[in-house]
């Protein structure tokens, strides 16, 4: 039975602590759209997306109004385009990206993810075509997001793809320089990517998924921070229990919304992703959680430990609340989207190297990090490779969403707007790694990958 105390508590979470359903994401398989004629393929893709998702935004808004719970984004994920378009012998997939953008605007969703390739063991001609299409595709569309998986614990790291993605990120920034290099903010490079992630920019609908599914992402850093205020002077066991209980409550609310959306849309419910994803708003910050735990600033000694504890407790609370927890589920650390992290970078408390250490224990990796525009492609490739190594060896998802800001240097800032926020330009290590990255080939999987 729901008590009046629980009702008031939920209301406070929403009104005062920035709790929200961050996204209702509809995953759509495009496998039945396949054609070797790119014009036919584009029409098939447009028809399927606009048919399946025609009511997604309306239903999301209705649920938000009726339940009084903010549903911030309505999104779509699709089968990786490098797979869907593999029969088309063309030099560019720009027209497909434009079709996705047109379909997204027609149904009214915020973003559509899946302009993607999975190349952890090798690249097909279609994979390479997609990757080389990314800079133009992201500069000439508004709502399309791209991702490339370049490594996995099972297969190792594709270093040819790592090098190519360093070049691709830099070129993406160059081609979208007139929009503050926003193209690179819509591009993620993964190791051990997951096929049911509802969060952008890395969402895609895996080939192991059904024809259509509803995945929901919930968030509430402010709720966790407020809960921790009640155990300000308690020990670590009390801290952990408080985080778990709070994560349980957040997940239950998210599952309620997910099941309701599934029922109204007539689409199977997939997973709920409980990820503490900050926004630029004060009170909705991972950095503030660290401070409430007792760290003066994010980046202080003990930050990686605090993040490990937070990530683990969030997962434990989530899986007790739902048997369908999936996606990435944990804590995100995007610099530009968290005012406390931004301040820590500005005063020198938080560096790129410390962020990399923190990615060993967070749910993803280096996220929304702005670096000087004169950074080299091989330096970017080295950063991607370092993150991929963490993911491969530790059998976890890691990622890089890094934005070389053309014309800007350390000490400058860049404004992305909306949930993407703004960021100070962070310094990168300037020592040369060209000879290492240019070796090419593939780094084999670690010994513990052999499970059979």
Instruction: Considering the domain delimited by 217-449, tell me its CATH architecture.
Output: Alpha-Beta Barrel (3.20)
> ∠ at Cα 290 (289, 292), nearest 5°?
65
Residue 369 has pLDDT above 80, yes or no: yes
User: Distance (Å, rounded) from C-alpha 285 to C-alpha 280?
Assistant: 8
pLDDT of residue 281: 76
Please give the Cα distance from 34 to 17 (Å, whole number).
45
Would you kindly state where each structural domain of the chain is located, as residue ranges? 26-191, 217-449
Whether 26-191 shares its CATH topology with 217-449 is answered: yes
Contact 64, 264 (CB under 8 A): no
Q: Which residues lie closer than 8 Å to 334 by C-beta, 6 or more apart?
A: 277, 278, 341, 367, 368, 401, 421
Task: Give this prediction's pTM.
Answer: 0.93
Q: 185 with 172: CB under 8 angstroms?
A: no
- Residue 73 to residue 264: CA distance in whole angstroms: 17
Measured distance CA(155)–CA(302) in Å, rounded = 33
Distance of alpha carbon 137 from alpha carbon 129, whole angstroms: 12
Counted residue by residue, the chain has a size of 452
Q: Out of 3.30.70.120, 3.90.1150.10, 3.40.50.720, 3.20.70.20, select the CATH number for domain 26-191.
A: 3.20.70.20
Q: How far apart are CA 251 and CA 218, in angstroms?
A: 7
| Lowest-confidence region among 1-5, 135-139, 229-233, 442-446 | 1-5
The mean per-residue pLDDT over the stretch 115-129 comes to 96
pLDDT band at 160 (very low <50, low <70, confident <90, very high): very high
DSSP state of 334: B
Of the ranges 75-89, 276-290, 311-325, 364-378, which one carries the lowest mean pLDDT score?
Answer: 276-290
pLDDT digits (tens, 9 = 90+) for 396-441: 999 999 999 999 999 999 998 887 888 999 999 999 999 999 999 9
Integer CA distances (angstroms), 193 to 83, 406, 434, in order: 16, 28, 27
Percent helix, strand, coil in the chain (nearest 5)? 45, 20, 35
């Amino acid at each position: 039975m729901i008590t009046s105390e629980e009702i008031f508590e939920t209301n406070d979470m929403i009104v005062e602590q920035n709790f929200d359903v961050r996204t209702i994401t509809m995953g759509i398989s495009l496998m039945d759209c396949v054609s070797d004629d790119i014009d036919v393929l584009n029409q098939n893709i447009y028809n399927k997306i606009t048919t399946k998702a025609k009511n997604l935004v309306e239903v999301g808004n209705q649920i938000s109004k009726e339940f009084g719970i903010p549903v911030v984004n309505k999104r779509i994920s699709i089968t990786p385009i490098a797979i869907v378009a593999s029969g088309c012998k063309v030099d560019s997939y720009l027209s497909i990206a434009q079709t996705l953008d047109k379909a997204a605007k027609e149904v009214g969703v915020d973003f559509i993810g899946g302009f993607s390739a999975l190349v952890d063991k090798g690249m097909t001609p279609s994979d390479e075509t997609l990757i080389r299409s990314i800079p133009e595709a992201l500069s000439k569309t508004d709502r399309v997001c791209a991702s490339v998986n370049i490594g996995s614990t099972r297969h190792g790291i594709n270093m040819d793809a790592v090098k190519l993605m360093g070049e691709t990120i830099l070129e993406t920034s160059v081609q979208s320089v007139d929009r503050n290099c926003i193209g690179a903010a819509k591009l993620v490079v993964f190791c051990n990517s997951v096929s049911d992630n509802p969060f952008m920019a890395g969402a895609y609908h895996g080939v192991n998924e059904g024809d259509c599914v509803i995945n929901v992402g919930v968030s509430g850093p402010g709720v966790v921070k407020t809960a921790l205020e009640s155990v300000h002077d308690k020990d670590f066991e009390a801290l952990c229990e408080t985080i778990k209980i709070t994560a349980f409550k957040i997940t239950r609310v998210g599952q309620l919304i997910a099941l309701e959306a599934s029922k109204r849309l007539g689409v199977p419910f997939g997973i709920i992703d409980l990820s503490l994803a900050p926004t630029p708003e004060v009170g909705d910050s991972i950095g503030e959680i660290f401070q409430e735990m007792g760290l003066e600033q994010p980046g202080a000694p003990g930050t990686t430990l605090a993040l490990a504890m937070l990530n683990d407790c969030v997962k434990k609370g989530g899986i007790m609340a739902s048997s369908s927890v999936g996606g990435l589920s944990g804590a995100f650390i995007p610099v530009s989207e968290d005012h406390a992290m931004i301040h820590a970078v500005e005063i020198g408390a938080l560096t790129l190297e410390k962020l990399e250490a923190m990615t060993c224990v967070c749910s993803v990796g280096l996220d929304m990090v702005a670096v000087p525009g004169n950074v080299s492609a091989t330096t970017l490739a080295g950063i991607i490779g370092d993150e991929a190594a963490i993911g491969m060896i530790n059998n976890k998802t890691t990622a890089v969403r890094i934005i070389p800001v053309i014309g800007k240097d350390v000490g400058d800032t860049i404004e992305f707007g909306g949930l993407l926020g703004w960021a100070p330009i962070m310094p990168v290590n300037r020592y040369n790694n060209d000879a290492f990255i240019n070796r090419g080939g593939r780094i084999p999987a670690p010994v513990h990958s052999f499970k059979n």
